Chains A and B, each alone.
Chain A
Amino acid sequence: MTSDAATPLAAELIGIDKEFYGVKANDNVNFLLERGQVHALLGENGAGKSTLCSILAGLYRPDSGEMHISGAPVLFKSPKDALAAGVGMVYQHFRLVANLTVAENLALGHPGLDVRLNQKELQQAATELGQRYGLPVDASARIWQLSVGEQQRVEILKLLYRDAQILILDEPTAVLTPQESKVLFKTMRQLAEEGRSIIFVSHKLDEVKQISDQVTVLRDGKTVGGVATADAEPKDLARMMVGRDLELPTRKPSEDIGSVMLGVSDIHVQSDRGLEAVRGMTLDVHEGEVVGIAGVSGNGQRELAQGLVGLRPLTSGSVELDGVDITHMSVLSRIRAGCGYVPQSRLGMGLAPGLTTEENLALKAFRRPPYSKSRRLVASAFRDNGEREIKEYDIRGVRPGLPIRLLSGGNLQKALVGREVEMSPKVMILRSPTRGLDVGATEAVRNQILEQREKGVAVLLISEDLDELMALSDRLLVIYEGEVVGEMPTEDATAERLGLLMAGQREGAS
């Protein structure tokens, strides 16, 4: 460390504690940020990275602990105070007002502006700032018109427009293609060279190795250690992060792929805004095969999944399940025909938050015996089957009679996947099944998916996580703006090749 009295640290967090509903999200965390550096904050989901960042950005108040910015003690009551002290954050879920323009989002809350807003001047300033930092955006566009990558640029511009000296980027690469990530890294370097300090939150080791100067690892809300990136071996970092050596299950190639179980031909589906989100997709999933759908979020994933399970009408095209045309079937008929679905939002779409775990586990089967007999529900069936499934799918933290929403994300997902598996589906459609889960739960869910494949279930895995797709899929399709732009066996896929396709560049087009 080169800190001395003349150059104080950009930020110093000492002994930070923060508790949420009895769970210690941060437990005596220490974090030192040097000026002009990219400092990676590494840890699993739920390790307390986002909480720590939100405290530094003034969104949460720590229960105890001290913060210093440029050597001076600070107490942030709100993000406003943090921004005034030069600390800004790009949240994982962007904090942009969708109905406002890019320029308006930059101006929002800026204390140095005139009372009268001059749209033209604002737009010009935004455009110039974008050019200087390699973050081009259309300043007059409204946020909802922009892609996720563009929205992220707006978030960074927002901080630069305030001249933030400390920029916190919470998992910024999660929504980017590998190529877009590279561009972002270049901007991050440029900012660090200007003397700004950057906190880069990630759980991806290779990215941390590639971009950061310094790494701090968090585990279970505690600081595990801090090292210079140059001195750190990826596998050491992994052990610090997880607390044990880890090996995630991967698929073994299989020869015995059966007949077409899910046949989708030329379907078109509209988004909530009435725009064409799926524009003529055709794909097959065979018995005992996992087909992965790769793509940057917002390219028709939601509409594709909802169209296939019947939650959203198809404007044209047809869907067959095991040779039966299910195009015009209701959701219930599709479930009975053998269509399983694990949606992205676990609570709300997947599970009923206010019902108990036992009731949720029976949510698709309750209309029939043993759960109901002559139109009456059988309480003992709920209890007995519930107990069995809770044990079988290792759902932890269940307290009888209490709503399922009290469970952690990993246990919710185990319950959701377990319920679908119990229905013995012929086809399973999953969206980002391990998003936000810790390593243990990820392992359980992946094993379950592979087990279903062994049983001959046709699995359609729609995910934004390339590692997950490559680990589980037999075959990969890449979608861009609602169309399939590439298809390959997983053996032929590389992150670069997928990344180009995900960015909309068709192979052999030029």
Chain B
Amino acid sequence: MNDSLLMLTVVAAIGLGTPLIFATIGEIITERSGILNLGVQGMMLMGAVAGFWATFTTGSLLLGVLAAVVAGAALSSIHAFTSITLRANQIVSGLALAIFGAGLASFLGKIGNDPLVGNPSREVFEPLFTGWLVDLPLVGPLLFGHDLLVYVSWLVAGIASYYLFHTRMGLSLRAVGEDPASAEAAGVNVSKVRYVHVLTGGALAGLGGAYFSLALVPTWQDDPIGAAGWIAIALVILSSWRPWRAVFAAYLFGAASRVQFTLQTLGEPWSDIPSTLLSMLPFVLAIIAMIVLTSGKRARYLGAPAALAIPYFREER
């Protein structure tokens, strides 16, 4: 039963969805503060390269994760500065960040006498549990078959959800994203809240990137994450800015990415479907989800922060 095709697909979907969970929840936290950061792709790639480099140099996965988090946050601080302090157009700034981060990550992978590119990682995140726990029917592979970061991603979802809806800081965050003028009048420091959460979002995106280079495809290659950063932005809308929904949305997309491999193992006639067509599946799914969710009256109940992407200036009259 644990070896059934369905089970294998589900377990694989969890793995493929994990980096999306980090990046999506990071972007949810960022957008909840009213800042739209379209640079997720760049932040993830920077996290991927920084994490790989740190682990490659030190042999420590922990330092790799730390480096990824710092790299993601550092890149996002550029966006925080332009969009919060300079009140620039957030779409332009975010897109620039995506392009800049991708280019920089690729460059960093190629420089030096002994470039990273082509090298396998010295350490890799392995499944945490072995033995009878994993052999339990059903729950074994589903609950105990994963590496540490999968459990961290569940923890992040739980913490983010509690933080948003049950703490004082979460309330300030939601208020700043909805109505910064009112939040400020109530004594909330709008700039501070926005800075903190844009950086947090960047850190989580960096962590998501590192999951690719330290767990999913632990060899440095030029484009290790595909379009995960862009998918994460779509998943924010699909999960209507709620952390738990982001987990399921990410797994759904993980499954869609996995389907092409599953179908090939099924043999005729399934394996005749061109794989290029199947690799389109996650993107087609993203487009359909966007259309269904954001069309007509439904968009109003979606829960986008009302002040999203609007710069705030206190003395505006």
Contacts of A60 in B (CB 8 A): 314-315
Question: What are the interface flags for B51-66 relative to A under an 8 Å C-beta threshold, 1 for contact and 0 otherwise?
Answer: 0000000000000000
Contacts of B186 in A (CB 8 A): 79, 83, 95, 105, 108-110, 158
Contact check: which of A57, A91, A107 meets B171 at CB < 8 Å?
A: A107
Assembled-state Cα–Cα distance A94/B314 (Å): 15
The answer to whether B178 touches A99 (Cβ under 8 A) is: yes
With contact pairs A78-B189, A98-B179, A158-B186 given, residues A109 and B317 touching in the complex (Cβ less than 8 Å): no
Measured between C-beta atoms, what is the minimum distance from B303 to chain A in Å? 8
- Does A22 belong to the interface (CB within 8 Å)? no
Contact check: which of B170, B181, B317 meets A20 at CB < 8 Å?
A: B317
The answer to whether A59 touches B168 (Cβ under 8 A) is: no
Residues of chain A from 247 to 295 with CB closer than 8 A to chain B in the complex = 273-274
Contacts of A107 in B (CB 8 A): 168, 171
Measured between C-beta atoms, what is the minimum distance from A314 to chain B in Å? 19
- Does A114 belong to the interface (CB within 8 Å)? yes
Question: What are the interface flags for B29-50 relative to A under an 8 Å C-beta threshold, 1 for contact and 0 otherwise?
Answer: 0000000000000000000000
The answer to whether A109 touches B172 (Cβ under 8 A) is: yes
The answer to whether B171 touches A108 (Cβ under 8 A) is: yes
With contact pairs A89-B185, A108-B188 given, residues A98 and B172 touching in the complex (Cβ less than 8 Å): no
- Does A117 belong to the interface (CB within 8 Å)? yes
- Does B183 belong to the interface (CB within 8 Å)? yes
The answer to whether B166 touches A116 (Cβ under 8 A) is: yes
Contacts of B174 in A (CB 8 A): 97, 99-100
Question: What are the interface flags for A55-96 relative to B under an 8 Å C-beta threshold, 1 for contact and 0 otherwise?
Answer: 001011000000000000000001110011000010100111
With contact pairs A59-B185, A83-B187, A95-B181 given, residues A108 and B175 touching in the complex (Cβ less than 8 Å): yes
- Does B82 belong to the interface (CB within 8 Å)? no
Contacts of B182 in A (CB 8 A): 94-97, 105, 108
Question: What are the interface flags for B155-196 relative to A under an 8 Å C-beta threshold, 1 for contact and 0 otherwise?
Answer: 000000000001111111011001101111111110000000
Measured between C-beta atoms, what is the minimum distance from A129 to chain B in Å? 16
Contacts of A273 in B (CB 8 A): 300
Measured between C-beta atoms, what is the minimum distance from B185 to chain A in Å? 4
Assembled-state Cα–Cα distance A60/B300 (Å): 34
The answer to whether B175 touches A100 (Cβ under 8 A) is: yes
- Does A401 belong to the interface (CB within 8 Å)? no
The answer to whether A117 touches B166 (Cβ under 8 A) is: yes
Measured between C-beta atoms, what is the minimum distance from A194 to chain B in Å? 22
Chain A residue nearest in CB terms to B190: A78
Residues of chain A from 384 to 434 with CB closer than 8 A to chain B in the complex = none
Assembled-state Cα–Cα distance A364/B170 (Å): 48
Assembled-state Cα–Cα distance A115/B169 (Å): 7
A-B contact count (CB 8 A): 88
Chain B residue nearest in CB terms to A112: B168
Measured between C-beta atoms, what is the minimum distance from A450 to chain B in Å? 32
The answer to whether A108 touches B172 (Cβ under 8 A) is: yes
Most buried by B among A60, A104, A110: A110
Contact check: which of A78, A97, A158 meets B179 at CB < 8 Å?
A: A97
Assembled-state Cα–Cα distance A105/B178 (Å): 12
Contacts of B179 in A (CB 8 A): 95-98
- Does B306 belong to the interface (CB within 8 Å)? yes
- Does A111 belong to the interface (CB within 8 Å)? yes
Chain B residue nearest in CB terms to A158: B186
Contacts of B306 in A (CB 8 A): 98-99
Contacts of B187 in A (CB 8 A): 78-80, 83-84, 109-111
Contacts of A158 in B (CB 8 A): 186
Question: What are the interface flags for A207-242 relative to B under an 8 Å C-beta threshold, 1 for contact and 0 otherwise?
Answer: 000000000000000000000000000000000000
Question: What are the interface flags for B234-273 relative to A under an 8 Å C-beta threshold, 1 for contact and 0 otherwise?
Answer: 0000000000000000000000000000000000000000
Measured between C-beta atoms, what is the minimum distance from A412 to chain B in Å? 14
Chain A residue nearest in CB terms to B169: A115
Assembled-state Cα–Cα distance A274/B296 (Å): 12
Measured between C-beta atoms, what is the minimum distance from A110 to chain B in Å? 7
The answer to whether A274 touches B178 (Cβ under 8 A) is: no
Assembled-state Cα–Cα distance A108/B190 (Å): 12
- Does A488 belong to the interface (CB within 8 Å)? no
The answer to whether B178 touches A79 (Cβ under 8 A) is: no
The answer to whether B167 touches A117 (Cβ under 8 A) is: yes
Contacts of B183 in A (CB 8 A): 97, 108-109
Contacts of A109 in B (CB 8 A): 172, 175, 183, 186-188
- Does A324 belong to the interface (CB within 8 Å)? no
Contact check: which of A20, A80, A96, A114 meets B188 at CB < 8 Å?
A: A80
Measured between C-beta atoms, what is the minimum distance from B228 to chain A in Å? 30
- Does A113 belong to the interface (CB within 8 Å)? yes
The answer to whether A91 touches B185 (Cβ under 8 A) is: yes
Question: What are the interface flags for A154-173 relative to B under an 8 Å C-beta threshold, 1 for contact and 0 otherwise?
Answer: 00001000000000000000
Measured between C-beta atoms, what is the minimum distance from A276 to chain B in Å? 15
Contact check: which of B184, B297, B317 meets A79 at CB < 8 Å?
A: B184
The answer to whether B185 touches A79 (Cβ under 8 A) is: yes
Assembled-state Cα–Cα distance A236/B314 (Å): 37
Measured between C-beta atoms, what is the minimum distance from A113 to chain B in Å? 5
Assembled-state Cα–Cα distance A83/B184 (Å): 11
Assembled-state Cα–Cα distance A80/B187 (Å): 4
Contacts of B184 in A (CB 8 A): 59, 78-79, 95
Contacts of B314 in A (CB 8 A): 59-60
Contacts of A108 in B (CB 8 A): 171-172, 175, 182-183, 186, 188
Assembled-state Cα–Cα distance A20/B314 (Å): 13
The answer to whether B178 touches A100 (Cβ under 8 A) is: yes
Measured between C-beta atoms, what is the minimum distance from B293 to chain A in Å? 18
Contact check: which of A79, A91, A113 meets B168 at CB < 8 Å?
A: A113
The answer to whether A97 touches B317 (Cβ under 8 A) is: no
Measured between C-beta atoms, what is the minimum distance from B171 to chain A in Å? 6
- Supply 12 A–B pairs (Cβ within 8 Å), ascending by A: A78-B187, A78-B189, A79-B185, A79-B187, A80-B189, A95-B185, A96-B179, A98-B178, A98-B306, A100-B174, A117-B167, A117-B168
The 3 residue pairs across chains A and B that have the minimum distance between CB atoms: A109-B187, A109-B186, A95-B185
Chain A residues near B (Cβ < 8 Å): 20, 57, 59-60, 78-80, 83-84, 89, 91, 94-100, 104-105, 107-111, 113-117, 158, 273-274
Chain B residues near A (Cβ < 8 Å): 166-172, 174-175, 178-179, 181-189, 297, 300, 306, 314-315, 317
Additional 13 contacts, C-beta under 8 A, given A59-B184, A79-B185: A60-B314, A83-B187, A95-B179, A95-B184, A104-B171, A105-B186, A107-B171, A108-B186, A109-B188, A110-B186, A110-B187, A115-B169, A117-B168
